[in-house]
Amino acid sequence: MADVLSQSEIDELLSALSSGELAPEQVNDGKDKQQIKKYDFKSPKKFSKEHLRTLEMIHESYARIIGSYLAAQTRTNIEIKVAVIEQVTYEEFNKSISSPTMLTVYRLPPLSGSLMLETGPQFVFQILDILFGGSGTTVFKTREFTEIEKNVISGINKHLVESFKPAWEDVLDVEPEILSVETNPALNQTIAPNEPVALISLSVKINNLQSYINICIPYLAVEKVLDRLVVRYWFTDQDEKDRKVSRNKIEKRIQNVPLDMTTYLGRCTIPIKSFLDLKLGDVIMLDGNVESPIETFIEDKPYYKTVPGTLNKKKAVRIVEIMNKDVNEDEQ
């Protein structure tokens, strides 16, 4: 009730207005002005925050997928993560990338139209240097790519584009298809300059040098599937077929999750002095009996009773008892 004036305050206000001590325009405290927001009609905001957040989640998964691929190809530790995701116009995106660059234009049905993957000169030359036997620790000067360099990096980018399929699979089944590769971004005029696009920039760290991979997704490409870029869509009621497909996808991915399995032959407690006096050939007495089963742990939790042995000239254990029966029954 603090905004309601008392009768005496009303009288003082009217008196000040009558005497000229207070101008009518001064009565407005300016709150109305604060409620007005500027709107740029040249660059309308088509992507909501929720749309951009979903795209960020998709490309966080994509970053992990291509990070593993590039690390395997180069045998080098590579760190890739989403650096920036924002809405810009296609003209702003086109002007922000260097020339020459490797701009791969591709389709992602059922998304409409063309999307773009841009791998900049520093990333390209660093990857090429490692593949050709170098260390990949040099900051490279921008120059035109040779035909051999373009062919090699096109093969790398082909795998990067194909990696969109597993990255999108929780949202949409897509089929990547490369349309063309350009080294001069000014020559690519497949999208109108003022077309809103989602720009996802991935930072790539190789040997303490940073470069970027940029992904350009036009609004028109995702306009027909925008409802799938809303998190609550994933929790709406689906028919039985959709639920079965979703469950199969989840089960398939869970089955590939790696688990640490550890078997302990036994334990013992010894004084520090005895530990320091240990030398080659000493025998350490464990608490277990050689004829008794030993415990095997899954992710630090006891799960099986096992018996140690060998199989195909390798150390192995044979399961003789399942300790966590409740979990086993739930799985059935």
Phi/psi at 256 (5° precision): -95, 0
Read off the tokens for 257: 């999750």
Residue 331 has pLDDT above 50, yes or no: no
Read off the tokens for 53: 């957040």
Share of the chain above pLDDT 90, in %: 44
Q: Is 61 helix (H, G, I), strand (E, B) or coil?
A: helix
* pLDDT, average across residues 304-324: 88
Choice between 246 and 176, residue whose per-residue pLDDT is larger: 176
Q: Distance between CA 122 and CA 136 in Å, rounded?
A: 10
Segment among 136-140, 143-147, 237-241 with least mean pLDDT: 237-241
Confidence grade of residue 1 (pLDDT, cut at 50, 70, 90): very low
Segment among 23-32, 83-92, 138-147, 302-311 with least mean pLDDT: 23-32
Residue 176 has pLDDT above 90, yes or no: yes
Sheet containing strand 115-119, edge to edge, reads 78-89, 196-206, 209-218, 115-119, 102-107, 177-182
Is domain 261-331 classified as CATH 2.30.330.10? yes
CATH number for the domain running over 49-247: 3.40.1550.10
Digit-coded pLDDT (tens) for 83-114: 999 999 999 999 998 889 999 999 999 999 99
Choice between 276 and 16, residue whose per-residue pLDDT is larger: 276
Residue 8 has pLDDT above 80, yes or no: no
CATH 3.40.1550.10 domain range(s) in the chain:
49-247
Read off the tokens for 83: 């650096």
Q: How many other β-carbons are positioned within 10 Å of the β-carbon of residue 195?
A: 17
In the DSSP assignment, the letter for residue 26 is: G
Q: Distance between CA 82 and CA 142 in Å, rounded?
A: 24
* pLDDT, average across residues 293-313: 87
Read off the tokens for 178: 């490369």
**Do the beta carbons of residue 324 and residue 301 sit within 8 Å?**
yes
Angle at 268 between CA 264 and CA 270, to 5 degrees: 145
CATH 2.30.330.10 domain range(s) in the chain:
261-331
* pTM for this entry: 0.61
* pLDDT, average across residues 139-144: 84
Digit-coded pLDDT (tens) for 14-50: 776 666 666 655 655 545 455 555 655 555 678 888 8
